[in-house]
Amino acid sequence: MTAIIEPAIAQATGSLVGPAIDGGKGIFNCLKRKYGYVRNMSKNFADLEKEEKYLISEEVDVMTKLDRNRLKMQQTNRCKTWLDEVGKLKGEINDLKTEYSSIRKSFCGLCPLPGLMKLGKKILKKTADVVSLTDQIGRITIMFEKAPAAVIKKHTKVFPSLYKHVEMLQEYLRNVELKRICIWGPPGVGKTTIMANLHDAVGESHEFDIIFWVNVNTNRNVKEIQEVLLKRLGLDLKAEEHSNDQRADMISEELKNKKYVLFLDEVSSEINLEEVGIHEHHSDGKVVFACRYRYICGQADEHINVQRLSDEDAWKLFQETVDLDLKNYRDIEPVARKIVNECGGMPHMIKLIGKSLKKVEVAAIWRNTLYQLRSPSMERKRELEEVYKFFKLVCDELAPNKRSCLLSWAIFPAGYEPHRDYIIECWRAEECFKHWSKLGEARDEGHAILNEFVDQSLLENGRKVAHYKMFEHFQRVALRIANQDEKSYRIPVKEGEKIREEEWEPANRISLVRLKEELELPERPKCGKILTLLLQESSLVEFPISFFVFMCSLRLLDLRDTVIRLLPSSISSLKNLTVLFLNNCRELTQLPAEVGDLSSLEVLDIRHTGIHALPIEIGQLTDLKCLRVSFVEPVGNHNQVEARPRDIISSNIIKKIVSLEELIIDLNPNNGRWNQTLRDIAVEVASLENLTCLGFNFPDVDCFQNFINTSKSLNGNNKLLEVNNLRSFSIVIGYHQPCTKFDISGCSAEKHLRFSAGDGFPDAILKMLKEACAFELIGHRTAANLSDFGADKLGGLEACIIEECNEMMSIIDGNHTRDAAFQRLKELHINNLSKLVHIWKGSIQAGSFPVLTTLTLKGCHSLKTLFSQEIVLQLKQLQSLEVEDCKEIEKIIEDGSVVEAKVFPKLKKLELCSLPRLSNICQNMSLEWPSLETTIIKTCEELKNFPSTFESAAKLGVIRCTQDWWNQLVWPNDNVKNRFQSLQKLI
């Protein structure tokens, strides 16, 4: 190249000498610079190539970094511009290389100098551009983290009776300790609707970095769930290129520092979240499951059982679906309401049936729909196929005895909510527990089966504690399956219609529950196959004399809440009768002697009848395992014969029933005429060796102490169990009746002790108190506080009433209590303690009252401040607080600076009545009251700052009060006044 350039330079110099001399030094310098373009062209071109290599290396590094992070990172616009500029510059350099190469090939002698100088200048300029562009990459941001895809709202309408679950779930998601939350219930109950509304609410709150929604069906595996999560994270990798474990690692790495919620809907089997990439160590990660069975999400921190819609919401949804104003259709509306009842508050079913009747104005079609829903013999409706399949599938997978238990529910009327003990006794009568000889063992298994059915969404908890209910259409399905099963039997279930005589003979079970039509029974029905006959709550008045003659197979007879006056002598034919319910038959005044012929009878319930004495033939029932009796006071008129006290249960009757495991004898202890009777019966009860359940009124401590000392069931061969032999008990010592009605059905075990009008702390009381779940201390004459009974004796209590103990000055004395107190106490009722000045005296141990939900305080006139600051901080689960008729109370919470803004975080109801000196709830006006829904204020004239105290109660919906009290309130501002005005309900 030099050989070409040198002659060109000489030629150029000669041709420019004249003009250069004329132009002076400026031209000379220009010529020198241009000469440099040409003179150093080879070196400059080599520099350009070297700098280009550096630039290309930077480009490769940037592209590699972008490629490696393309799943979660996105290049910046400036980086894109830089890469575009690099590409453009590389093209220009390639053009320059071509031009430079052509010069080398075309020159064999001289070359035009202007072209060379132009080329040399281009090389230097491109080299500078390359260096500049290479330097820029160190000063720009190459990429940034991809933003997650926007949350797509579900926009699903939710009714008030379901929205309460949404609100509760939002609170759970804010709780840092809760990571796994399960929503469960049968198909169509509204789980997805709740999840969708929660999903939208969480999205609107912006409290989480990212939200996932996965519909998990039976065929969806871990890989498919991972793909949904990866796509939401913007990690669009090809599934075949990575294993499940690799994808799980990627997901886990992405989420470890993120605040996220994963919604898993329609979960039908257990999911190993760690295999998906969801780990416990994700400190801000939450997972919400929706499934049919509770056990699927057994490891969840919280479970929400979704109940059906309220009656109001169900009717509203149905009207919206049928698109008719049903109140204008007199022939259709009553049928429509029955159809809605059949749907059982299940939104999915309401919609399905509603759509099939949309805009239908023909009453006959509505009546036919109702008949189809109720009739077990009809072909199942296509709209309800999912419900039918769900029930049938689960039913077929059950063990034979559990399947029998489930199908036996078909005999109850739709919507029936029986008590747990009643259900289990029916199952035992149906021989579902033939492998258990002991009634207590059968109860334990029955209890476990009921819980299993609830967990499988086959049953739900009833409105009352320990009551259960089956979804109405499930009952229809159960009846259809039972009647179609060749091993089962014909089951007539009559609701509002009479049973025909020809239906008796083939029947194996007959249900006439709540039949209000005049009930006429056949004289002598030939029904030798019948096992169960339910007549409870019907209009039954009397039996034909020979009614039971051919019912030799009958095992269960329920006559509860009927108005029968006599049992026919033909009852003696019921040789296989196992269970007989006569409770609440108030017109029944005596049992016939033929009851002694019921040799197989195991359960007899005759509480709350007109019977005032047991026939001696009861003593012949040597297989009787459960006897429940109560007696009315003889009045001595023409209908009832005055009975001597001991005649109510003749001597030696109880001790003859050697198989008794459960005994309840309810006598009015306020009547001293029963004293000796109770003492005599207590001696016989002590002779029973198999007793595991006892309900009895002991007239005094001496009688009870003697029973404890002599009872064979408590002091028999099983030395390990002792008092624990009693699986349940309701023991009353003394006569004093409490003012507070006490319901212990919410306790974990039915172990109830009442100690009335006593003094001191007898050993027998302390021994039984240690086993009790519920304790009533009524009219104790010496106790200064409950601590006197011993902290170790109180630890298992779940409910407690303290009433008219005139020496009691505190409930707990912290000076005598080392450990946290009342670890399991849920309810505490304090009534008429005239000297009470403290709930808790002295320092309180942390962790006391951890689960207390209900506290009532009445008639304590020495108390001035209800809670110390220390005790307030312990009551984190308190939901209901009622304070009434305490004349000296001035404050609910004592003054001080310790009280936090979030005291009583769970309090929903506050009732303050007849507190004439109460002027302040708390000195701290900034309390949040985050859960308060209802307040009742009555005769609290000095409580004028109520609006300021409760200004922050966001959920407050009702203020029940008198107008006089309302008129004298002091309002902090008009906004609070206007808001509270809409909440006022006068009383």
Tokens of 67: 């490629």
Q: What is the pLDDT of residue 109?
A: 43
Same domain? For 419 and 360 the reply is no
Same domain? For 215 and 267 the reply is yes
Q: Helix, strand or coil for residue 890?
A: coil
Residue-wise burial string across 944-977, b where 16 or more C-beta atoms lie within 10 A, e elsewhere: ebbbbbbbebeebeebebeeebeeebebeeeeee
Q: Helix, strand or coil for residue 973?
A: coil
Same domain? For 369 and 405 the reply is no
Range of the domain at 26: 2-145
Same domain? For 479 and 364 the reply is no
Residue for token pair 């941001």 = 141
Q: Report the amino acid identity of residue 83.
A: L
Question: What's this model's pTM, rounded to 2 decimal places?
Answer: 0.76
Q: State the DSSP code for 958.
A: E
Same domain? For 182 and 280 the reply is yes
Phi–psi pair at 622, nearest 5 degrees: -70, -15
Same domain? For 275 and 295 the reply is yes
34 part of a folded domain: yes
Are 34 and 49 contacting, i.e. CB atoms less than 8 angstroms apart?
no
Determine how many CB atoms are found less than 10 A away from the CB of residue 336: 24
* Domain final position from 488, 523, 538: 488
* Domain final position from 445, 470, 488: 488
Are 604 and 624 contacting, i.e. CB atoms less than 8 angstroms apart?
yes
DSSP string, 604-618: EEETTSS--S--GGG
Q: Based on the structure, what is the number of domains in the chain?
A: 4
Are 706 and 681 contacting, i.e. CB atoms less than 8 angstroms apart?
no
Which of 157, 446, 161 lies closest to 309, judged by CA? 161
Same domain? For 224 and 185 the reply is yes
Are 797 and 827 contacting, i.e. CB atoms less than 8 angstroms apart?
no
10-residue mean pLDDT series, the chain (987 residues) = 44 42 50 65 85 89 79 79 90 86 59 72 86 87 70 68 87 89 87 90 88 80 87 72 86 89 89 90 91 82 87 91 90 92 84 88 90 65 68 86 91 89 94 89 93 86 88 83 66 70 86 83 90 93 94 96 95 96 94 94 95 90 94 50 60 92 82 77 93 93 93 68 73 80 76 90 91 94 89 88 94 82 93 92 87 95 90 92 95 74 86 95 83 94 92 91 93 91 91
Bridge partner list, 468: 461
694 part of a folded domain: no
In angstroms, the CA 17 to CA 22 distance is: 9
279 part of a folded domain: yes
Q: State the DSSP code for 986.
A: E
692 part of a folded domain: no
Same domain? For 32 and 72 the reply is yes
Q: Helix, strand or coil for residue 895?
A: coil
Same domain? For 369 and 421 the reply is no
Same domain? For 215 and 330 the reply is no
401 part of a folded domain: yes
* Domain final position from 336, 353, 374: 374
333 part of a folded domain: yes
261 part of a folded domain: yes
In angstroms, the CA 916 to CA 854 distance is: 23
Rg (CA), the chain: 43
270: left (phi over 0), alpha (psi -120 to 50) or beta: beta
Q: What is the CATH number of the domain that holds 255?
A: 3.40.50.300
Same domain? For 449 and 480 the reply is yes
Same domain? For 405 and 484 the reply is yes
No. of H helices and E strands in the chain?
28, 32
332 part of a folded domain: yes
